[in-house]
Structure 1
Amino acid sequence: MYARAVAAITAALLGVAALLLPGSDARAGDVVGEHVLVIGHRGASAYAPENTLASIDRAARLGVTWVENDVQRTKDGELVVIHDDSLKRTTDVEQVFPHRAPWKVKDFTAAEIARLDAGSWFGERYAGARVPTLRQYMRRVEHNHQKLLLEIKNPELYPGIERQTLKLLANEGWLDRQHVAGRLIVQSFSADSLKIVHDLKPAVTTAFLGTPRMSDLPSYASFTDGINPSYNSISTGYVSAVHAFTGPHGRPLTVFTWTVNDAPTARRAARYGVDGIITNKADVVRAALQAP
């Protein structure tokens, strides 16, 4: 294992050196992005309130196959789809429950959260949209024939959320061979959380959110299939280094970068060699990648 890791790092560094030579960026003038996945960040979040059913429906109408979401847990143990650990930014919780600051998700029951308006903050046409439970969300993703990049959010706040999430996915039919093979990726900023997912269900594809040092990539490759860094933290050399490693399913590690919302940046990311772009504006990114 050590010898293979050293060889992979050496190959990656040699590749980085070659990419830095004059004239080495041969792809710069080429058509790019033909094989880059476009993932709708929290659905179509530039056009509908993030992480709602309306948002993934809008993504479906835009022809976006892959959507990304965030999963947290209520006080009474229900998994819900919301990004922040507080309900304040994307719901009317301050008006409905004015005396319960700081309005943390974990301090409210599922029934209380179900009362909240999660759409009016975005626009009047979405008034009355709700924070979906993960079960509701999965059924809509299935109905839309979409694929899911599921983020376990703040796992340190919710002990056991990995097992609970996998159980719900199994109950909804999302851990069968068809779904696991090509319709589901579980990601997290927590390496420990991903290790738990990998240990509990090795067949599930996982991805680490962040930009680990190249010297640390061998350890990540033992439990994750992808590295998903922010766009401003990567380069052609870094993407090449990640691709030099093989993950637990015997495939090169992938790179999905976030959050890219304009055409020039999308094309630049594609030239870096990324495998996927996570975006609030999937239509803009897709058009940029398809342009000659």
Structure 2
Amino acid sequence: MRFTVLTEPDGRRSARRAGAVVAVLSGLALALTTTTAHAAPGDPDVIAHRGSSGMAPENTAAAIDLAVRQHADFVEIDVQQTKDGKLVNFHDCTMERTTNIKTLYPDRPRYRVSDFTWKELQHLDAGTWFHKKYAGEPLITLDDVIHRIDRTHTGLLAEISPCSHYTDIATDLADHLTTKPAYLNRALTHHQLAVQSFQPDDAHAFHTRLPTIPIGILDAD
């Protein structure tokens, strides 16, 4: 299958991004949308960006579960890492936009995922910003996402975070996935797993570690 290189709709930039890079390491047909319907043979796959983020708070269990119920072919998530090494599903390089982090921890010098332990982040409200009915919606881990989509019709498209303070997140993601051989086998057998990155170095590092997983490089220009 063909891998269509996509851009982030918000034009996100990072100091680590290597300009207008368009590259392919292996393939999967992709299209970016939050609409949900089974694609006909030969059509692009339907991908729920950050889960069904138009109808639920992005990258939360609510958004992931809704995408599965809507029969999305894939959910796209963003992989970041806590101070104590937990891989979590979160998009922005800091957490003020979609959580109550500053209210809960008012005296912290920075609000990056990597500045907090997973225990600390479990207390956050990641839903109220979207709508009051999602008050108290928590952050979720990569393992939570996998648990919610495993053995369903919905696959996983995981983006390696381009936030500049991460150095080994690509290999940490690859190493973590190797601890889930049953899931990996099922997902690859059914073409339900791919990884993407804005960083060529991260894409290469991941691909070197896990060459069986399709990976593509994104370009925001």
Shared fold (TM-score greater than 0.5)? yes
Q: What is the alpha-carbon distance in structure 1 between the residues aligned to residue 153 and residue 177 of structure 2? A: 16
Instruction: Name structure 1 gaps, 5 residues minimum.
Output: 1-31, 211-229, 234-292
Aligned length in residues: 180
Choose the corresponding residue for 1:106, options 114, 125, 130.
114
1:251 corresponds to: none
1:187-202 alignment to 2 at 5 Å?
Answer: 187-202=196-211
Normalising by structure 2, we get a TM-score of 0.76
Normalising by structure 1, we get a TM-score of 0.58
Instruction: Name structure 2 gaps, 5 residues minimum.
Output: 1-39
Does 81-90 or 34-43 show the bigger shift? Answer: 34-43
Query: Which secondary structure state, in structure 1, belongs to the residue aligned with residue 157 of structure 2?
Result: strand
Q: Aligned-pair distance for 1:155? A: 6.1
Residues 175 and 143 from structure 1, CA distance in 2 versus in 1: closer, same or farther, beyond 3 angstroms? closer
Q: Is the 8 A contact 1:57 1:144 kept in 2?
A: no
2:84 corresponds to: 76
Q: Aligned-pair distance for 1:163? A: 2.2
1:204 corresponds to: 213
Cα deviation code 1:251-277 (max 9, x no counterpart): xxxxxxxxxxxxxxxxxxxxxxxxxxx
2:20 corresponds to: none
Over alpha carbons, which structure has the higher Rg? Answer: 1
1:185 corresponds to: 194
Counterpart residue identity of residue 143, structure 2 = R
Q: Aligned-pair distance for 1:152? A: 0.5
Query: Which secondary structure state, in structure 1, belongs to the residue aligned with residue 76 of structure 2?
Result: strand
Q: What is the alpha-carbon distance in structure 2 between the residues aligned to residue 179 and residue 60 of structure 1? A: 15
Query: Which secondary structure state, in structure 2, belongs to the residue aligned with residue 121 of structure 1?
Result: coil
Residues 155 and 123 from structure 1, CA distance in 2 versus in 1: closer, same or farther, beyond 3 angstroms? closer
Q: What is the alpha-carbon distance in structure 1 between the residues aligned to residue 80 and residue 107 of structure 2? A: 22
Q: What is the alpha-carbon distance in structure 1 between the residues aligned to residue 58 and residue 109 of structure 2? A: 22
Structure that is richer in helix per residue: 1
Query: Which secondary structure state, in structure 1, belongs to the residue aligned with residue 184 of structure 2?
Result: coil
Q: Aligned-pair distance for 1:102? A: 3.2
1:146 corresponds to: 154
Counterpart residue identity of residue 159, structure 2 = E
Q: Is the 8 A contact 1:48 1:54 kept in 2?
A: yes
Q: Is the 8 A contact 1:135 1:168 kept in 2?
A: no
- Note the aligned Cα RMSD (angstroms): 2.0
Q: Is the 8 A contact 2:87 2:173 kept in 1?
A: yes
Percent of aligned pairs sharing the same letter = 38
1:238 corresponds to: none
Cα deviation code 1:158-210 (max 9, x no counterpart): 2222222122222233332x422401111000000010111111111001111
